[in-house]
């Protein structure tokens, strides 16, 4: 399978990778079938996502979608972040074959879980 230049760049140079001890919210999502994992940690100040960090385990699309997601949401308001879709993540990594779309879905699930727990708190 051939990956895009954007995809390879994210894989070789993951954005915003690591832990975030000062995070307001942390979401852990796992694909129950394949075992891929994504941890998303956010610092949200005045309803705006100020800092984002992620950790990922799994196939390359999972690693890359996590990286792309952090770029898409950093600096956005919570409401703006809620409007980000699976397709936005797929576009941000330069496209994915349909059998790998589950990786972008996992990223959006982690984002929604984080934003939901932020709203609840």
Partner 1 sequence: MTANRRIYLDHSATTPVDPRVAAAMARALTENYGNPSSVHAFGQQARAAVDRARREVAMLIGAKPNEIVFTSGGTEANNLAIRGVCEAAVDHGRHIITSAIEHPSVRGVCDALEKRGWEITRLPVYDNGIIRVDDLNAALRPDTVLVTLMWANNEIGTIQPMHEIGALIRERRRVENGQRHLWFHTDAVQAAGRLPLNVDEAGCDLLSMSAHKLYAPKGIGALYVRRGVRLAVQNVGGHQERERRAGTENVPAIVAFGEATKLAREEMPERVAHDSALRDRFESRVKELISDVVMNGDRERRLSHLSNISFKFIEGEGLLINLDLEGVAVSTGSACSSGTLEPSPVIRALGVNDEIARGSIRFSFGKDNADADVDYVVEVLAKAVERLRALSPLSVVGR
Give the shortest CB-109-to-partner 1 separation in angstroms. 12
**Which lies closer to partner 1 via its Cβ, residue 56 or residue 89?**
56
Give the shortest CB-56-to-partner 1 separation in angstroms. 6
**Which lies closer to partner 1 via its Cβ, residue 37 or residue 76?**
37
What angle (nearest 5°) sits at the alpha carbon of residue 118, between those of residues 121 and 53? 135
**Which lies closer to partner 1 via its Cβ, residue 57 or residue 119?**
57
Q: List Cβ<8 Å contacts ≥24 apart for 40-48.
A: 40/66, 40/69, 40/70, 40/107, 40/110, 40/111, 40/113, 40/114, 41/114, 42/73, 42/114, 42/118, 44/78, 44/118, 47/77, 47/78, 47/79, 48/75, 48/76, 48/77, 48/78
Give the shortest CB-47-to-partner 1 separation in angstroms. 27
**Which lies closer to partner 1 via its Cβ, residue 27 or residue 82?**
27
Residues near partner 1, by CB under 8 A: 3, 5, 8-9, 11-12, 14, 17-19, 28, 31, 33-39, 55-60, 63, 99-100, 102
């Amino acid at each position: 399978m051939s990956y895009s230049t954007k995809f390879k760049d994210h894989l070789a140079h993951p954005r915003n990778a690591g832990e975030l001890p000062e995070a307001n919210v942390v979401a852990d999502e796992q694909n129950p079938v394949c075992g891929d994992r994504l941890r998303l940690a956010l610092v949200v100040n005045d309803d705006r996502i100020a800092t984002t960090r992620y950790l990922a385990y799994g196939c390359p699309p999972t690693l890359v979608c996590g990286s792309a997601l952090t770029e898409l949401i950093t600096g956005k308001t919570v409401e703006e972040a809620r409007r980000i879709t699976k397709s936005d993540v797929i576009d941000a990594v330069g496209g994915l074959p349909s059998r790998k779309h589950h990786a972008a879905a996992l990223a959006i699930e982690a984002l929604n879980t984080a934003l939901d727990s932020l709203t609840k708190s």
